[in-house]
Every structure is written in C-alpha cells, then in structure tokens.
C-alpha cells in the first residue's frame, strides 16, 4: 500500500515541479535584416535611387511589439552619420512593421 501512495504522490508533484522549469522564447531576426528593411523604407519614402547605409549592430533582435533598435544611418552621398531608432510593431510571427526615426543633425557634421 505504501508503494502506491508514494507513486501517487510523485505523479501529483511531477507536474508542479515541471511548471517551475518552463520558459518562453520570442522569435528573433538578425539585426542586418532590420537594417536592410529600414534602409529600404527610407529609400521608398524619400524616392531616391539609392538606399542609405544602415547599421543596427550584430545582435539578433526579438520580434516583440514596441522593440526599439538603435541604429546608425550613413548618408552615402556625404558620409554623415545619424542616430536612428527603428521601432517594431504589428509583429505577427516573423512579419513586422517598422517605424524609422532619424536624428535631424549628423553625429559627425562640422
């Protein structure tokens, strides 16, 4: 009888112990993917024949609504660098919308 009781207790406690080990993970995308999409969005908005150079670092970016990514935009025509914030929204799996905010003044303007 004791064997059944101890097995029953183990079966009842097992799910409780397993819930303490659960975790969740967000989908991610490479920073270069965000940089490329931000550069393309700016090119489309400005109607230029070339996209600006965009660097958003090397770390993967979590695909979560409201994620802000700090990037550097380089104007290929003059080499000026601008602080840029790319914000993710409307995240649905690996699909997302971006909003790009570019600083008004260049970091390296004289």
Q: Is residue 59 part of a domain?
A: yes
Cα gap 67→101, rounded to integer Å: 13
Distance CA 21, CA 83 (A): 40
What is the tens place of the pLDDT at every residue in 53-81? 999 999 999 999 999 999 999 998 899 99
Residue 22 lies in a domain: no
In a domain? residue 45 = yes
| pLDDT score for 109 | 73
**Host domain of residue 54:** 28-102
Whether 16 maps to a domain, the answer reads: no
pLDDT for 43 equals 92
Q: What is the dihedral of CA 70, 76, 77, 78, to 10 degrees?
A: 60
Q: Is residue 74 one of the residues assigned to a domain? A: yes
CA nearest neighbour of 107 among 86, 81, 74, 85: 81
Q: Give how many domains the chain has, as a whole number.
A: 1
Rounded Cα gap, residues 91 and 93, in angstroms: 6
**pTM recorded for the entire structure:** 0.73
How many Cβ atoms are within 10 Å of 104's Cβ, its own excluded? 6
């Amino acid at each position: 009888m004791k064997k059944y009781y101890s097995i029953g207790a183990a079966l009842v406690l097992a799910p409780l112990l397993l819930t303490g080990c659960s975790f969740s993970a967000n989908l991610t995308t490479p920073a270069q993917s965000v940089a490329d999409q931000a550069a393309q969005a700016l090119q489309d908005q400005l109607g230029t024949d070339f996209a600006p150079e965009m660097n958003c670092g090397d770390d993967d970016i979590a695909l979560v609504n409201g994620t802000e990514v700090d990037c550097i935009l380089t104007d290929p025509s003059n080499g000026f660098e601008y602080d840029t914030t790319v914000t993710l929204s409307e995240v649905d799996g690996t699909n997302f919308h971006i909003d790009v905010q570019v600083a008004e003044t260049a970091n390296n303007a004289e």
